[in-house]
Structure 1
Amino acid sequence: MLRGKTILLLRPTIRVGAQSTGGMFEANGTWTEEARRNIAVALANVQERLDNRVVAAPEAYGDANRLAEEYGSLFAAVSASVVNYQFFKGNRLPTKKRDNKADVFDWSVGPGVADLPGARDADFALFIYDYDAYGSTGRKLLQVVAMLGPRIAISSGVHTGYAGLVDLKTGDLLWLNADTHMGGDVRTPDGAEKRVRELLQGFPGSKPDPDTAPAR
């Protein structure tokens, strides 16, 4: 069980915007900054439950900042692949079918993760990715019209989140929580608190969440 280790909390990759009538993502800087602040506060509130020493990654500039951003994007891509090709039975790759039967979880972001700012003083890195596209008025109207007319199911809003623990010595992904239908409006403090609790549910060695733990 993971206990007494140092976990490097990397700056979360956060994208928040609107979903246009046609389904395209339209970034919203104000919403993204609101979400960034709210998620940062929520993460600070739950760090004690992780039962390990959690340190925030140092502020990075220039090449170091680009490297951190690249690994944030790489983590999101690897997480999406895990969901599509190991978690989802319909798309499971032949090798991942064997892995599942043998209870093997074999994914990595590569050993270069050891070069991230702050990595030398930590054992693991906690990556967090959040993507929210809130359905616009036009998208919601299209959803209603599609249901009343040709009865076509059209979704309004996309809310995806990944949280993963990576071994900083090897780059191996040790734990992943992924959800493509996340709850909580990250533009509000309460919503961000709910989102972070969902993202870190089942974190190795963490203490039970008092808000979700079953009553005795």
Structure 2
Amino acid sequence: MLASAVQPAFGQERTAVQNGFSLPPNSGKKILIFQPAVRVGAQSTGGLFEPNADWSEKAHANILNALTEVQANFGNSVKIAPEVVGEDAQNVEEHLSLFSAIAQSAIEYQFFVGNRLPTKKRDNKDGNFEWSMGESVRNLPGAKNADYALFIYNRDEFGSTGRKLLQVAAILAVGVAIRSGEHQGYAGLVDLKTGDLVWLNADAQMGGDVRDPDGAHKRVQQLLEDFPGSQFVKTAKK
């Protein structure tokens, strides 16, 4: 299973679109969806992430199935990227890690004013959303027959019993709020001709238990809110 080690560091839902980019419904453009990077585990009493392979495998399958179910809402032709092995698989994994690193940088240094880089200090609304993976994306499996690639990262930490007890104890003893569980994700659309990141949606307080098919469907809808040219309806976070 493909999963990035990069951890998101954002605190609310944000969406950004590259200046001048649009993707009208039924434009004839083809979108290639790569296997989502999914990490699921428990949050220990001390707040450490403890990965759970079984949960991650179930969540990955549920999210991928949900993506297949909602393809009709994209408004354009969508195809799941082919399964590959060997050098092709390594190439895909490297680009998934690259996407995660770039998306994380965009989230941390541009989505929030205090952390914004000097070269990217203008607000996203001013059209200063300029991030790229480079032209090497052209060589990804399936890229020759598509216009855009959709990458998805998802990370869930479910609070352990110890963590939940600590949360209650902290409130009762000293009135300090301790978070039990974290549910983060982001999705990005990349131009396969230029490598530019043309759309990014990030959320650190997502709903839906991805270990459950219905929860994964809700998660996918949240990840793809405001997707260019889509017909998605905003989903409540529960």
Q: TM-score range by the shorter chain?
A: over 0.9
Matching of residue 50 in structure 1 with residue 78 in structure 2: no
* 1:138 counterpart = 2:144: no
SS of the equivalent of 2:229 reads: coil
Q: Is the 8 A contact 2:224 2:232 kept in 1?
A: no
CA distance in 2, matches of 1:114, 1:97: 30
Matched, 1:168 2:155: no
- Cα RMSD of the aligned pairs, angstroms, is 1.6
CA contact (8 A) 2:164 2:180 kept: yes
Distance in 1 between residues matched to 2:91 and 2:165, nearest whole Å: 41
- The structure 1 residue matched to 2:92, chosen from 54, 65, 68, is 68
Normalising to structure 1: TM-score of the pair? 0.93
Structure 1 CA distance for aligned equivalents of residues 85 and 136 of structure 2 = 18
1:99 Cα deviation after fit? 5.8
Aligned counterpart, 1:30: 54
| Distance (whole Å) between structure 1 residues aligned to residue 163 and residue 101 of structure 2 | 27
Provide the rounded CA distance (Å) in 1 between the counterparts of 2:47 and 2:87.
34
Q: In the alignment, is residue 177 of structure 1 matched against residue 207 of structure 2?
A: no
Point out the more displaced range, 95-104 or 45-54. 95-104
How far off is 1:84 after superposition?
1.1
How many Å apart are 1:153 and its aligned residue? 2.1
Between the aligned residues of both structures, percent identity stands at: 61
Q: Deviations over 1:163-212 (max 9, x none)?
A: 11000111100000100111110000110011000011111111243x75
Distance 2:178 2:135 in 1: 41
> What is the alpha-carbon distance in structure 2 between the residues aligned to residue 204 and residue 66 of structure 1?
29
CA distance in structure 1 between the aligned counterparts of 2:92 and 2:111, rounded to whole angstroms = 27
Aligned mates of 1:25, 1:104 — CA distance in 2:
34
Higher mean alpha-carbon deviation, 152-161 vs 6-15, is at 152-161
Asked if 1:149 corresponds to 2:166, the answer is no
Whether 1:20 aligns to 2:44 is yes
Gaps (5+ residues) in structure 1?
none
Indicate the SS of the match to 1:114: helix
Residue 59 of structure 1 and its aligned partner are, at CA, apart by 0.8
Instruction: Give the distance between the partners of 2:127 and 2:231, measured in 1 at CA.
Output: 24
Query: Which residue of structure 1 lines up, in the alignment, with residue 226 of structure 2?
Result: 202
SS of residue matched to 1:82: helix
TM, length-normalised to structure 2: 0.85
Give per-residue Cα distances to partners, 1:1-53, cap 9 Å, x unaligned.
Answer: 41210111101000011111111111111111111111111111110110111
Q: Is 1:128 paired with 2:152?
A: yes
SS at 2:121's partner residue?
helix
Partners in 2 of 1:23 and 1:36 — Cα distance?
23
Local SS of the residue matching 2:174: coil
Aligned to 2:137, the other structure's residue is in SS state: helix
8 Å CA contact 2:221–2:232 kept in 1: the answer is no
Indicate whether 1:107 and 2:131 are aligned.
yes
The whole-number CA distance in structure 1 between the counterparts of 2:125 and 2:70 is: 34
Establish whether residue 5 from structure 1 lines up as the match of residue 56 from structure 2.
Answer: no
1:90-146 Cα deviation digits (max 9, x unpaired): 211122213647322101122211111111111100001100111111111111111
**Within 1, Cα distance between the matches of 2:73 and 2:124?**
29
Alpha carbons of structure 1 residues 121 and 101: separation in structure 2 relative to 1, 3 Å:
closer
